[in-house]
Amino acid sequence: MDFRVLNGVVLHVEDLGPADRPALVFANSLGTDFRIWDDVVARLIERFRIVLYDKRGHGLSETGDSPYSIDDHVADLAALLDDLAVENAIICGLSVGGLIAQGLYASRPDLVAALILCDTAHKVGTAEAWAERMAAVEDGGIASIADAILERWFTEEFRESDPIALQGWHAMLTRTPVEGYLGTCAALRDADFTEEAKQIAVPTLCVVGEEDGATPPELVRQTADLIPGARYEVIAGSGHLPCIERPAQLTELILDFTEGNNLV
């Protein structure tokens, strides 16, 4: 385990794989930690230098001062990459992690060689929807909304076929610090990279699970249409977290995209 103090917050970090290979950096979704990437990382560990981290308020990282702005999360990732002396990285962000990736490119393009925007968008949800979710968590905790969240995360087939794994992911979600969850909800509520997306000038892959109930394919397609030259792909049989439900298919897309753009 590796812990680093960045922007006054202790972040849980992993720096894996060959140091001389291109860096592939993973940024997680709301209510998760970097274990969601395990099955993808196992398939890529010999091809890339892999950087994983729990954003503030999640996993084993400190909460810091909540609520957050998306700029707080972006600054944390920039500080981490500077601390690791990583430049020109491939940034793979899922959901809010994809917004962090877009923000990183907007503020520190020197750190970004390419973007993989996974089950995310230029803007996610409405202020009203985020206010409703935050109120529910403040009233009843994350457990009160956990079943509804899992229905958006995973397909019905996955939920019914692997109830033991489902309970494990339920535990990960509900053990997220409430302050960290609410703080990141606030960041999502206020984040809007509609104009910034139009200025992205690095290779970009936008990928989404066919049955994603949080950032559905049409929303991800809208984001891809904003980004000049972006590639858009749909993963069949997956919900919001294809890194868990369909890791082999997501890995194939990552490899095809990186090889096709001479990034490896």
pLDDT digits over 172-193, tens only? Answer: 999 999 999 999 999 999 999 9
Residue 20, burial from CB neighbour count under 10 angstroms (0-12, 13-18, 19+): exposed
Q: So what's the pLDDT on residue 213?
A: 93
Cβ atoms of 14 and 34 within 8 Å: the answer is yes
pTM over 0.75, yes/no: yes
- CATH 3.20.20.140 describes domain 2-260: no
Q: So what's the pLDDT on residue 123?
A: 98
What are the domain boundaries of the chain?
2-260
pLDDT digits over 11-44, tens only? Answer: 999 999 999 999 999 999 999 999 999 999 999 9
- Mean pLDDT for 82-110 is 98
Tokens of 47: 């091809």
Q: Rounded CA gap, 162 and 152, in Å? A: 16
Mean pLDDT of all residues belonging to the chain: 97
Q: Which residues on neighbouring strands pair with residue 61, listed in sequence order? A: none
Three-class secondary structure of residue 238 per DSSP = coil
Three-class secondary structure of residue 66 per DSSP = coil
